[in-house]
Amino acid sequence: MTQTLDTVFAALADPTRRQILTMLLEDDMAVTDVAEPFDMSLAAISKHLMILAAAGLISQEKRGRVKWCKLEPDALKDASVWMQAFGQFEAINLDAFERFLKNENLTSDQ
């Protein structure tokens, strides 16, 4: 599960990829339509899409000549469950959160 979480969080770390996921919330989109609002090449968008697909956050399928992207919301389930564990901390108690993360790192390194 740790590797899956790492892959999902790495994919979500980029603002372009988060924006793509937000766009796909509305409906499936052709790759060219996904690329349209961004000021980058189609090849660059394709790399972002490959990262999202590798994390399981989207799926892609070819329909005729067009490649379509679809959001896979279940891929966020493990990340959501993991983040819910932090609901025990008050929003302003960042010191406790930092201590928890340090302790979590120590136990996962062993």
Please state, rounded to an integer, the average pLDDT across all residues of the chain.
87
CATH number at residue 27: 1.10.10.10
Same domain, residue pair 92 and 56: no
List pLDDT tens digits, range 31-62.
999 999 999 999 999 999 999 999 999 999 99
Whole-angstrom Cα distance, residue 24 to residue 37?
13
Q: Give the model's pLDDT for residue 75.
A: 85
Q: Give the model's pLDDT for residue 110.
A: 55
| Pure H helices in the chain | 2-12, 15-26, 31-35, 42-54, 77-84, 94-109
Same domain, residue pair 67 and 81: no
pLDDT higher at 110 or 35: 35
Residue 1: C-alpha distances to residues 8, 54, 79, 81, 85 (Å)? 11, 15, 9, 11, 15
Range of the domain at 93: 77-109
* Span 70-91, average pLDDT: 80
The pTM of the whole model exceeds 0.85: no
3-state secondary structure of 71: strand
Same domain, residue pair 83 and 100: yes
pLDDT higher at 26 or 92: 26
Residue 24: pLDDT band (50, 70, 90) is very high
pLDDT higher at 68 or 95: 68
Count of the separate structural domains present in the chain: 2
